Amino acid sequence: MKTGRLILEGWVAMGSNKTRTFLMALGTVVGITALTLILGALGLLTDQPWQTMVFLVAMGMLLYTEIISPGYFAQKVQPSQWILHLLADSLGYQLVLK
């Protein structure tokens, strides 16, 4: 019961322009994810003791971001953005996994 009330209070606190607020929050998350990925890559390249932990956290953040973003565009019924996002994701994962 408290969870529903918390979500409702957060929704009301977002204000009248919920789309802009959501996109700003998403941009912040993507920016932090990008910085974490760069830090993880530098750790892997320089063979640091913390490399594996940071890399795994960064990849988890990337996976979470890639699940949330296409869902947002699919919900807004923008198929061109959704398909473009899925194609870029699949290309990115192919490059990372090779």
Whether 58 maps to a domain, the answer reads: yes
Q: What was the pLDDT predicted at 73?
A: 65
Chain centre distance of CA 22: 12
User: Would you say residue 98 has pLDDT above 60?
Assistant: no
Nearest partner of 66 among 24, 26, 98, 28, judged by Cα: 26
Whether 68 maps to a domain, the answer reads: yes
Distances (CA, A) of 10 to 20, 23, 56: 15, 15, 30
User: Would you say residue 94 has pLDDT above 60?
Assistant: yes
Whether 5 maps to a domain, the answer reads: no
Whether 57 maps to a domain, the answer reads: yes
Whether 36 maps to a domain, the answer reads: yes
Q: What was the pLDDT predicted at 46?
A: 93
**Looking at residues 14-20, what average pLDDT do you find?**
68
Whether 90 maps to a domain, the answer reads: yes
Of 31 and 57, more confident: 57
Nearest partner of 57 among 72, 71, 69, 43, judged by Cα: 43
Rounded CA-CA distance 22/72 in Å is: 10
pLDDT classification of 65: cutoffs 50, 70, 90: confident
Range of the domain at 40: 17-97
**Count of the separate structural domains present in the chain:** 1
**Looking at residues 25-36, what average pLDDT do you find?**
77
Whether 75 maps to a domain, the answer reads: yes
